[in-house]
Amino acid sequence: MILDLLTTVIKPSEFGSVLKLKLSGLQNKTYPQPLRELAANVNDREFCYAALHKVSRSFAVVIQNLPGELQDAVCVFYLVLRGLDSIEDDMNIPLEKKLHLLRNFHQFSLQPGWNISNTGDKEDYRQLLESFQKVVSVYLRLKPSYRMVIDNITKQMGHGMADFAEKKVQTTADYDLYCHYVAGLVGIGLSGLFSASGFESALLEQQKTIANSMGLLLQKTNIVRDYFEDIESGRTFWPEQIWSCYAEKLEDYKHFPESKESLACLNHLVTDALQHVPDCIAYMKQIQHPKVFRFCAIPQVMAMATLAKIYNNPDVFRTNVKIRKGLAARLMLETNDLESLNYFLEKFTYKLMRKLNPADPNYLMTKKRLHRIIEAIDETKMRYTIAPDTTDNIEQSVLF
């Protein structure tokens, strides 16, 4: 799910030295003991941050860079969704039990003392769920407006995961819906938390379509990029409606990485993901707090760099393609405001344009979407340049 994006795109081992230095000042704490031991020795809030550290070190750093009380709210939000996700991913739970857990997790996570043992697909996740009462206790202490957002999103996501536990992603509509459940809802929930914090406008949480697109861009980028990893572990997320245009079986692609069909399919999926970029730009344009801006913008710019790298790239079918460490570090350090975000988005859009080949079956659509991105970037620049409340506003806008 989307929560893995930062973990997989930015691994601590991939940080450049400058970045390591910068981050080490922010996060010195390490937790050598297993969560199970920590649960008995530290208070609930510390347990949450230790758990966050264990399950996603990079996300822990990013969350701790959020302003004030948003830290605890986003930390709890993350841990609750992590709990839900590890239930979804645990293939040893009998289906009936799993559906019950997924659909009711939003209630369990607000029940004082609730926990569950022997559940979860990784050891750290299992220990998190085993001591989940500590997360519940911090969750219950959050202010009601935060709790409402988290509860509502967890409920919708759990139901969506349950719906998809029994069916495959076939049509592009299924693909968009599944991505909405596991990622779009995270975007919508984060907007709700940002609005509730007062750091962002109350209007932000009402714009669900663009918040959904923020999640979809990240999730789809991951899904397209992770073809090889997923197929090796027996999972598939590529929508059949698209991949079946170019091959009989999804596994065929890994046998013919360089073939016209394989690359056409890959490019089709990249093009599908690109449709969400203009919405993401519209979303970012509204973010006011610099720390919230960085929190939202960095994954987006990483996703765009990844799409530019994987487009028409046969390596997607034989290995895990990642953006260069140096580039990842630069994006993390230098994406600070709308101007720098635009700069990088434009750069990767032009990189994609240079890779276009008129022989590709989706060439025209890809080209159209890339032009639309450039237009969306240009629109934000206009908004930037025209000074509000000046008498010669009309003259100025004519100039543009």
Amino acid identity for residue 3 in this structure:
L
State which residue, 72 or 85, has the beta carbon closest to Ca ion.
85
Counted residue by residue, the chain has a size of 400
Q: Are 347 and 255 in contact (CB under 8 A)?
A: no
Task: Give me the least distance between CB of 88 and Ca ion, in Å please.
Answer: 4
State which residue, 237 or 344, has the beta carbon closest to Ca ion.
237
Distance of alpha carbon 86 from alpha carbon 184, whole angstroms: 18
Q: Give the 3-state secondary structure of the chain.
A: CCCHHHHHHCCHHHCCHHHHHHHHHHCCCCCCCCHHHHHHHCCHHHHHHHHHHHHCHHHHHHHHCCCCCHHHHHHHHHHHHHHHHHHHHCCCCCHHHHHHHHHHHHHHCCCCCCCCCCCCCCHHHHHHHHCCHHHHHHHHHCCHHHHHHHHHHHHHHHHHHHHHHCCCCCCHHHHHHHHHHHHHHHHHHHHHHHHHHCCCCCCHHHCHHHHHHHHHHHHHHHHHHCHHHHHHCCCCCCCHHHHCCCCCCCCHHHHCCCCHHHHHHHHHHHHHHHCCHHHHHHHHHHCCCHHHHHHHHHHHHHHHHHHHHHCCCHHHHCCCCCCCHHHHHHHHHHCCCHHHHHHHHHHHHHHHHHHCCCCCCCHHHHHHHHHHHHHHHHHHHHHHHCCCCCCCHHHHHHHC
Task: Give me the least distance between CB of 291 and Ca ion, in Å please.
Answer: 28
The residues of the shown chain that bind Ca ion, judged by CB under 5 A, are 1, 85, 88-89
Task: Give me the least distance between CB of 164 and Ca ion, in Å please.
Answer: 10
State which residue, 85 or 176, has the beta carbon closest to Ca ion.
85
Task: Give me the least distance between CB of 307 and Ca ion, in Å please.
Answer: 22
In the annotation, is 295 catalytic?
yes
Classified as helix, coil or strand, 247 is coil
Task: Give me the least distance between CB of 23 and Ca ion, in Å please.
Answer: 27
In the annotation, is 225 catalytic?
yes
State which residue, 122 or 368, has the beta carbon closest to Ca ion.
122
State which residue, 81 or 204, has the beta carbon closest to Ca ion.
81
State which residue, 230 or 261, has the beta carbon closest to Ca ion.
230
Task: Give me the least distance between CB of 269 and Ca ion, in Å please.
Answer: 19
Task: Give me the least distance between CB of 300 and Ca ion, in Å please.
Answer: 21
Distance of alpha carbon 78 from alpha carbon 369, whole angstroms: 32
State which residue, 78 or 348, has the beta carbon closest to Ca ion.
78
Q: Are 7 and 56 in contact (CB under 8 A)?
A: yes
Distance of alpha carbon 129 from alpha carbon 116, whole angstroms: 6
Distance of alpha carbon 218 from alpha carbon 222, whole angstroms: 6
State which residue, 222 or 271, has the beta carbon closest to Ca ion.
222
In the annotation, is 237 catalytic?
no
Task: Give me the least distance between CB of 121 and Ca ion, in Å please.
Answer: 8
Query: Which of these is catalytic: 57, 82, 126, 225?
Result: 225
Query: Which of these is catalytic: 295, 317, 344, 348?
Result: 295
Active centre residues (catalytic): 178, 225, 235, 295
